[in-house]
């Protein structure tokens, strides 16, 4: 009696993966060779063979196996998805899209293929097509939180307003907001409880609880072992902010470990970041469990995640609790309600004590200011306005934030500002063609000449810094303020105007303005924001008085005081360590002399 496909699968599962891969490949190959066309399970056997070949590194063999599975059963979605993914990895994006387009599917398989297509379209920069494909997927089945999240964020990037449009049957405004995704939510609402609920839903979908690896009582080390985990140890805004903190850590009290999930981009900032660690470990190719066990083996006392809920984050590592104390810092400016996180590093202004209970994990304030800055930041050679394509005779408002942060309400406010300051222009980053077109269209509808909206192409970090000095006022976004860009503007002497709200993300720029004494630039209503901007553009004395706050001296004594910041940051680390010590005092672990310099 011939062996059935189910029996072959059972044998393959008994063999297992890893060292049994060759035997499994031979098993499927022999069964296929001995099986007549039309035999039940033949297409699935080819698919399983493709999976095994792909896992063993035989990409060409895997692709051929998937193609054969599709020839036998033309609508077999798993084979279409895997073949498309293999083509994508080979750089054949057009061929991958063609495979997914041609596959015939059930509704479930169709949505899976549409979502894969949309993901690749978005990654390739075709935002409009990605949005349309995601919408088609949601029209087929609306209960797809991940598809909703991506659809909304693509719309944000294109400034396709209203973002929370009720155009999908079964998805109300509240449904869309709840499934918008953590990053998108920061630009949709400054309601902290709403942000926390959205983040909790995302975490529930994307992670699973794991047994804790670190001992609850911690360790006893002469120096606290601090681990930093990030996928942005490369040419990324986070690294440009934090690198000097790594360099300045007091090595008599702290031993600094870097756990890197970043790509190797060859940038000078990456070289500098890596050199700043006492110990550097790449976890990019490690599984989450393997990375967590490496941290446990290193006996990290405090693990600081620098991604939070941003792209590239490795939340599942944190779920293994590889360190007895775990905190989130800088990467994601909002609640990260992961059960294994103990603290969120912030300050008392961005997270006021009155609403601290709305956040999770528990806020751990850094004295004075939450944001690190690098005093060694490279700035390019000076440019003239003419060299940057700017008019010399106009008042230049600017905003170099990514366009997903621009809301319909803020855009309307900007148009009111341009009306009130007729000799002004608005200089924006050229994010994508769709947002550029939509912003110009809004200008036309508001009665503003679209030529007054100027767009700067992206450039290298040093030139970007020089450009900031060419504008007259930086107009901040709300509810998701500028963070890194706000401090860059202040460093370059560019006056900044912000609208402050309730959430961390909507209070970042205000924190910085208060730090340099530029309180007049902090507004709390859109009307006040518009009126202040118009006054700055039309009253030279008022403008000169405000601009005087943005001096090198003011910068150096506040945001630019990295030595002082490091002391305050390390004091927060010690408070976290002491808090952990207090929770398990009987275990006799970490102890510090209260008279130790820098101890809170």
Burial of 153 (0-12, 13-18, 19+ CB in 10 A): buried
25-34, 464-473, 573-582: which has the highest mean pLDDT?
464-473
Q: Is the pLDDT of residue 41 over 70?
A: yes
Contact between 455 and 428 (Cβ < 8 Å): yes
pTM above 0.75, yes or no: yes
Q: How far apart are CA 201 and CA 336, in angstroms?
A: 11
Contact between 261 and 283 (Cβ < 8 Å): yes
| CA-to-CA separations, 542 to 57, 338, 416, 472, 533, in angstroms, rounded | 66, 47, 19, 13, 11
**Segment 532-561 mean pLDDT:** 97
**Quick one: pLDDT band at residue 233, thresholds 50, 70, 90?**
very high
Sequence spans of domains, the chain: 5-178, 181-375+563-600, 395-556
Please check whether the two domains, 181-375+563-600 and 395-556, share a CATH topology. Answer: yes
The pLDDT > 70 percentage for the chain reads 95
Q: How far apart are CA 210 and CA 375, in angstroms?
A: 40
What is the CATH topology of the domain spanning 5-178?
Answer: 1.25.40
Please count the other Cβ atoms lying within 10 Å of the Cβ belonging to residue 209. Answer: 10
Window from 13-22, 399-408, 490-499 with minimum mean pLDDT = 13-22
Residue the block writes with tokens 């106009």: 394
Q: For residue 586, what pLDDT is reported? A: 41
Architecture of domain 181-375+563-600 in this structure? 3-Layer(aba) Sandwich (3.40)
Element (H, E) at 230: strand 224-230
Span 59-110, pLDDT tens digits = 999 999 999 998 888 878 889 889 999 999 999 999 998 888 777 566 787 7
Cα 271 from chain centroid (whole Å): 22
Contact between 326 and 302 (Cβ < 8 Å): yes
Burial of 43 (0-12, 13-18, 19+ CB in 10 A): buried
Residues with Cβ within 8 Å of 370's Cβ and at least 6 positions away in sequence, in order, are 345, 346, 347, 350, 508, 511
Cα 512 from chain centroid (whole Å): 22
Q: How far apart are CA 294 and CA 289, in angstroms?
A: 9
**CATH of range 395-556; options 3.30.230.10, 1.10.3720.10, 3.30.465.10, 3.40.50.2000:** 3.40.50.2000
């Amino acid at each position: 009696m011939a062996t059935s496909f189910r029996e072959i699968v059972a044998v393959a599962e008994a063999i297992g993966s890893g060292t049994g891969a060759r035997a499994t490949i031979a098993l499927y190959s022999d069964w296929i060779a001995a099986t007549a066309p039309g035999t039940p399970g033949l297409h699935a056997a080819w698919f399983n063979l493709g999976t095994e070949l792909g896992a063993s590194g035989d990409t060409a063999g895997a692709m051929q196996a998937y193609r054969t599975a599709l020839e036998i059963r033309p609508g077999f979605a798993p084979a279409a998805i895997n073949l498309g993914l293999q083509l994508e990895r080979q750089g054949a994006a057009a061929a991958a899209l063609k495979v997914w387009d041609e596959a015939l599917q059930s509704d479930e398989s169709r949505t899976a293929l549409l979502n894969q297509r949309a993901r690749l379209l978005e990654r390739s920069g075709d935002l409009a097509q990605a949005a349309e494909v995601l919408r088609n997927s949601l029209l087929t089945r609306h209960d797809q939180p991940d598809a909703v999240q991506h659809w909304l964020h693509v719309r944000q990037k294109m400034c396709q307003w209203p973002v929370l449009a009720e155009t999908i049957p079964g998805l109300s405004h509240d449904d869309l907001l709840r499934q918008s995704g953590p990053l998108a939510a920061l630009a949709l609402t400054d309601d902290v409880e709403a942000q926390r609920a959205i983040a909790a839903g995302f975490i529930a979908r994307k992670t699973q609880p794991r047994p804790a690896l670190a001992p609850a009582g911690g360790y006893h080390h002469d120096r606290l072992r601090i681990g930093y985990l990030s996928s942005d140890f490369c040419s990324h805004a986070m690294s440009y902010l934090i690198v000097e903190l790594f360099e300045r850590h007091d090595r008599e009290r702290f031993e600094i470990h870097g756990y890197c999930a970043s790509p190797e981009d060859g940038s000078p900032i990456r070289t500098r970041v890596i050199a700043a660690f006492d110990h550097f470990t790449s976890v990019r190719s490690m599984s989450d469990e393997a990375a967590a066990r490496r941290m446990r083996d290193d006996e990290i006392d405090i693990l600081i995640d620098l991604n939070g809920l941003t792209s590239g984050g490795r939340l599942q590592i944190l779920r293994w609790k590889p360190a007895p104390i775990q905190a989130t810092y800088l990467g994601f400016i909002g609640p990260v309600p992961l059960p294994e996180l103990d603290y969120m590093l912030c300050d008392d202004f961005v997270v006021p004590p009155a609403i601290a209970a709305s956040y999770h994990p528990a806020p751990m304030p850094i004295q004075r200011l939450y944001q690190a800055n690098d005093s060694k930041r490279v700035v390019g050679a000076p440019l003239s306005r003419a060299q940057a394509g700017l008019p010399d005779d106009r008042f230049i408002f600017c905003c170099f934030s990514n366009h997903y942060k621009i809301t319909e309400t803020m855009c309307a406010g900007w148009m009111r500002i341009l009306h009130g300051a007729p000799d002004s222009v608005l200089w924006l980053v050229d994010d994508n063609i769709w947002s550029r077109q939509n912003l110009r269209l809004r200008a036309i509808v508001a009665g503003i000449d679209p030529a007054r909206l100027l767009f700067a192409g992206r450039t290298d970090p040093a030139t970007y810094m020089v450009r900031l000095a060419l504008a007259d006022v930086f107009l901040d976004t709300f509810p998701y303020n500028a963070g890194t860009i706000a401090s860059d503007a202040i460093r370059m002497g560019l006056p900044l105007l912000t609208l402050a709200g309730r959430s961390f993300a909507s209070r970042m720029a205000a924190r910085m303005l208060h730090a340099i004494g530029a309180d007049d630039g902090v507004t709390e209503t859109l009307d006040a924001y518009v009126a202040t901007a118009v006054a700055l553009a039309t009253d030279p004395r008022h403008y000169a008085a405000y601009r005087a706050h943005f001096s090198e001296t003011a910068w150096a004594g506040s945001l630019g005081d990295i030595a002082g910041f490091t002391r305050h940051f390390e004091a927060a680390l010690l408070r976290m360590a002491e808090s952990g010590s207090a929770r398990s005092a009987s275990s006799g672990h970490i102890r510090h002399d209260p008279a130790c310099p820098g101890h809170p």
